[in-house]
Amino acid sequence: MALSKKSISPVGPESLFLHRVVCLSCGAQVSREHLQEHFEALNPTWTAESHGVAPDGDVFLPEEQVRHFHVPSCSKCGGVLKPDVVFFGDNVCKEKVDFVYQRLEESDAILVAGSSLQVFSAYKFALAARDRKLPIAIVNIGPTRADSLASLKLNSRCGALLPSILL
């Protein structure tokens, strides 16, 4: 994530990538808020009861809870929905790459949160920050590909640390 003198609002136009869900079949897009409403409508009495947390932050749910959970599908074609984020192995579209490079140009520093940066498509942004002589801070459990580039490396869970440092 690039840090800028202009903060990136979680509700502004820059956040379209963060709060959007896309259909893998037809490409239809809906807001994450709209999807949440569908989750609640399909599962009105469902509550998660975790039976433990894995080191990566995943939770263990009883099989009964998983079996009775209903996942919404695309309202246009019935296809599978996914957050409009880049997962490991996904291609990064030019629009998103350009967006990040634009934000790097406006930034005083960058913060890498919860990524090992093992995939070059993410690591190249750390290299671009280094080339611009921007300080790089990393919050992650374990090593990252950019540790040698970092001005600050915090070996911590993002959920535990970020709420106390982000204003």
Closest CA to 109 of 136, 144, 139: 136
Rg (the chain; Cα; Å):
18
Helix (H, G, I), strand (E, B) or coil at 30: strand
Q: Which pLDDT does position 129 carry in this prediction?
A: 97
DSSP E strands, 8-126: 20-23, 29-31, 81-83, 107-113
**Catalytic annotation on 19?**
yes
**Is 23 marked within a binding site?**
yes
What is the distance of C-alpha 70 from the center of its chain?
A: 23
Answer yes or no: pTM beyond 0.85.
no
pLDDT tens digits along 17-48: 568 899 999 999 999 889 999 999 999 988 87
User: What average pLDDT does the structure give for the chain?
Assistant: 85
- For residue 148 the two structure tokens come to 């040698």
- Domains of the chain (ranges, CATH numbers): 20-83 (no CATH), 91-164 (3.40.50.1220)
**Is 74 marked within a binding site?**
yes
**Is 93 marked within a binding site?**
no
- Asked if residue 144 lies in contact with residue 164, where contact means CB atoms within 8 angstroms, the answer is no
- For residue 56 the two structure tokens come to 């990566």
Q: Which pLDDT does position 5 carry in this prediction?
A: 43
Catalytic residue among 19, 38, 51, 68: 19
Give 167's pLDDT tier (boundaries 50, 70, 90): low
DSSP E strands, 71-135: 81-83, 107-113
- Asked if residue 138 lies in contact with residue 154, where contact means CB atoms within 8 angstroms, the answer is yes
- For residue 100 the two structure tokens come to 């990040």
Q: Which pLDDT does position 54 carry in this prediction?
A: 76
**Is 158 marked within a binding site?**
no
Range among 13-17, 62-66, 123-127, 155-159 with highest mean pLDDT value: 123-127
